[in-house]
Amino acid sequence: MQGFLKGFLLSQNKILNKIILPFFLVIIITGSLSIYIMTEQVSRNLEDRVNEKLHNDVRLLQEMVSDIEKSLTFYAQFIADTEKLASHATEARDSRLILIYLLEFLKENRITSNISGVDEVSERSGLARLASMGIRMTGLTVHKNKSQTTLALSAVAPIEDHFGSRSVVTVSREIDPYFLNDLQKKIRSHRLQIYYKDRLIVSSEVHESCDIELGRFVTPQLISKVLTRDEPFLSHFQCGDHNVKMILSPLVVNFKNEMLVAVFESTNDLVLAKRKVIINSCAIVAAMMLIVIPIFILIISRTVGPIRMLSQASQRIAEGDLDQYIQVKTRDEVGELSESFNKMVSDLKKSRESIENLNQTLEARVAERGAQLVETQAQLIQSTKLATVGEFASGIAHELSNPLAGIYAFIQVFSDTVKSRSLGELSEKERKDFQNNLVYVEREIKRCKSIIGNLLTFSRVSDKEFVPTNINEILEEILSFTKTNLRKGGIRLEQHFMEKLPLVESDPNELRQVFINLLINARKAMNDGGGELTIVTNHSVVEETVSIEFIDTGVGIEKNICDKIFDPFFTTRKAGEGTGLGLSISYNIILKHSGKIQVFSEVGVGSTFTVVLPVSQTIG
């Protein structure tokens, strides 16, 4: 194989060299770029997800700490109020029972409470001293001893009995490993740590090698910088057998940045994903080169020689020399091409005669093909109408079932009444009730007739005839048998039809098809979770046009495909859910009406389709 490649590359065949060498370069560059792009894309996506998770964790921790502050404040005030009630003899027993149950609940949740007299807190500072002055407060309390420093979230409230004596109730939740483990489980992080001042206070779990590595860069200067600037600090490092990423961010307690929280997330998945992408990409590129390159070399070497002969013969034929004959040596595409060259000379005179005959019959053929195209387009539009009727069948059935159920109920009552007694025996009130019910039956029958009539008008094949048309009436006809389908899909319909809207010159049935297509597209764009569809009609006096807007709150359309949605057979739906012809047919119909369709869309917000038609110049 190596000798073959060496001899091939050293040959004087310039055509082969011009083909094969660029091919090698393209394969190598494409493979390298593919590996690099896929690796960078995976890394960037996973990195962004980790960063987003860390910031969300900090936000959730801040919300949970705020909720704990509110709970502690409530417990402190509740104990204070209960103690105050307990000073009254009539309510002492019940208040003490409530207090006992509350203290048991707090103990189960690792929350401590303490009641101190004024004399006991007079020598102390901080929250308790403020409470002894009658101020309710929450904050961070620090307890120091020889071995360690502990933090607690505390709330204080003053207690003043009816004799005027004042004491202080303090409710605290210590920030210990149990506290951090609870928070860690809720946010599903790898690890949590709390820093106060310039040192580590508590960690959700002990990991000596990890803590040593942390101590190298989580310095007092860094802690002070994060607290002062109130900006999170992100960093990667190795924690045991885990690659982790850490965010160091302030936690606000009582509107103060006094402590920091460190949240850790494992990035092992990031490393494994990058490694897997690199290995898979290299394997794919190598396999492609091993398979494609030898085959490509073999095919090119067998193809270039006959192609050169064909090229020379083609040049002579182009110069007018039709006495050319190419000897056929192969039975592949090159051999077929050689036979085509040989046949080309003999067929040239026949082609001239055929062209002359074709010129004579061209007009008739064009007319025939045009008629076939019109017939095919009509069949396509009719099949689209029938498919639309099928989509709204359940909604139409629901619209008809309601009035029919009411009519059936009235007939049952009427039948039972006639069986039990004659009509002459009915009271005046019963007769009036029957008359009212008959009016209801008549109205509902007319309603069913209107729905079926509108549906038949839409689905029937009609001759194309342009007449002055009221757009509002056409929309009302369509909505009469589509409202229920929209409502079942969780779509709220808003109608803003301009009164005394000018008429437009149109084929009403074709406009019905356009509006139905736009309704279906809007409904399917909001199919997952419902939404709102707004239909607006308006009149521009300056431009002498009527506009119809269909505004939905669906998924929206990406900008790079907005210009393609009116192309035939273009669809963004799954296979089997659409033909891609609805908007194309609608676009052509509106063009025939001397109008235009405009679309504005934003992904995640929704789309607006606007149909603009010229005002009818026919009076009346």
pLDDT number for residue 419: 60
Confidence of residue 212 (pLDDT cuts 50, 70, 90): confident
Distance of CA 546 to the CA centre of its chain: 33
pLDDT number for residue 472: 92
CB atoms within 10 A of CB 26: 10
- Residue 436 scores a pLDDT above 60: yes
Q: What is the mean pLDDT of residues 343-356?
A: 67
Nearest Cα to 555, choosing from 573, 569, 567, 537?
573
Strands 596-602 and 606-614 turn out to be antiparallel
- Residue 608 scores a pLDDT above 90: yes
pLDDT number for residue 125: 47
Q: Which residue has the tokens 């005394």?
A: 500
DSSP 114-178: EEEEHHHHTT--SHHHHHHTT--EEEEEEEE-SS-EEEEEEEEEEEE-TTS-EEEEEEEEE-SHH
- Residue 114: phi, psi to the nearest 5? -150, 140
Q: What is the mean pLDDT of residues 333-349?
A: 71
The whole-angstrom separation of Cα 597 and Cα 566 is 10
The whole-angstrom separation of Cα 155 and Cα 136 is 8
The whole-angstrom separation of Cα 42 and Cα 48 is 10
pLDDT above 70 covers a percentage of the chain that reads 64
Q: What are the E-state strand segments in 53-126?
A: 111-117
Q: What is the mean pLDDT of residues 188-192?
A: 86
Residue spans of the domains in the chain: they are 177-266, 463-620
Give 5-13's long-range contacts (Cβ < 8 A, gap of 24+): 5/297, 8/297, 8/301, 13/304
Name, in order, each residue with C-beta under 8 angstroms of 596's C-beta and a sequence gap of 6 or more: 590, 611, 612
Locate 515 and state its tokens: 């509006």
CB atoms within 10 A of CB 600: 14
pLDDT number for residue 471: 92
Give start and end residues of each alpha helix (H) in 460-503: 471-480, 483-488
Q: What are the E-state strand segments in 44-136?
A: 111-117
Question: What is residue 493's three-state secondary structure?
Answer: strand
Nearest Cα to 188, choosing from 369, 281, 54?
54
Locate 547 and state its tokens: 């506009």
Confidence of residue 121 (pLDDT cuts 50, 70, 90): very low
pLDDT number for residue 393: 52
Greater model confidence, 585 or 277:
585
Name, in order, each residue with C-beta under 8 angstroms of 384's C-beta and a sequence gap of 6 or more: 513, 517, 579, 581, 582, 585
Virtual torsion, Cα 303, 306, 312, 318, nearest 10 deg: -80
CB atoms within 10 A of CB 195: 23
489-541 pLDDT, tens digit per residue, is 788 999 999 998 999 998 888 888 888 888 888 888 887 668 899 999 999 99
Nearest Cα to 214, choosing from 192, 189, 187, 186?
192
C-alpha Rg value of the chain to the nearest Å: 42
Greater model confidence, 456 or 517:
517
Name, in order, each residue with C-beta under 8 angstroms of 258's C-beta and a sequence gap of 6 or more: 140, 196
pLDDT above 90 covers a percentage of the chain that reads 9
Cβ burial 110-146 (10 Å sphere, 16+ → b, else e): ebebeebeeeebeeeeebbbbbbeeebbbbbbeeeee
CATH of domain 177-266: 3.30.450.20
pLDDT number for residue 143: 80
91-103 pLDDT, tens digit per residue, is 566 667 777 888 8
Confidence of residue 396 (pLDDT cuts 50, 70, 90): low
221-236 pLDDT, tens digit per residue, is 888 888 888 788 888 8
Locate 598 and state its tokens: 């405009």
233-259 pLDDT, tens digit per residue, is 888 877 767 788 889 999 888 888 888
Question: What is residue 105's three-state secondary structure?
Answer: helix
pLDDT number for residue 528: 62
**Number of alpha carbons in the 13 Å side-chain half-sphere of residue 582:** 23
Question: What is residue 354's three-state secondary structure?
Answer: helix
**CA angle at 605 for the pair 604 and 608, rounded to the nearest 5°:** 125
Is the Cβ–Cβ distance between 330 and 39 less than 8 Å? Answer: no
Confidence of residue 123 (pLDDT cuts 50, 70, 90): very low
Confidence of residue 320 (pLDDT cuts 50, 70, 90): low
End-to-end alpha-carbon separation of the chain, Å?
Answer: 87
Tell me how far CA of residue 568 lies from CA of 89, 116, 365, 579, in angstroms.
88, 82, 25, 9
Q: Which residue has the tokens 């369509």?
A: 478
Greater model confidence, 406 or 513:
513
Tell me how far CA of residue 323 lies from CA of 191, 330, 343, 542, in angstroms.
87, 22, 11, 70
Tell me how far CA of residue 284 lies from CA of 25, 47, 156, 294, in angstroms.
17, 25, 67, 16
Partnered with residue 551 across adjacent β-strands are: 534, 608
- Residue 466: phi, psi to the nearest 5? -90, 120
Greater model confidence, 253 or 43:
253
Partnered with residue 167 across adjacent β-strands are: 117, 159
Name, in order, each residue with C-beta under 8 angstroms of 304's C-beta and a sequence gap of 6 or more: 13, 15, 16, 19
Q: What is the mean pLDDT of residues 533-561?
A: 91
Give start and end residues of each alpha helix (H) in 268-332: 268-318
pLDDT number for residue 620: 44
CATH of domain 463-620: 3.30.565.10
The whole-angstrom separation of Cα 532 and Cα 552 is 6
Q: What share of the chain is helix, strand, coil (3-state, %, to 5)?
A: 60, 20, 20
* Angle, helix 393-420 to helix 333-391, in steps of 10 degrees: 30
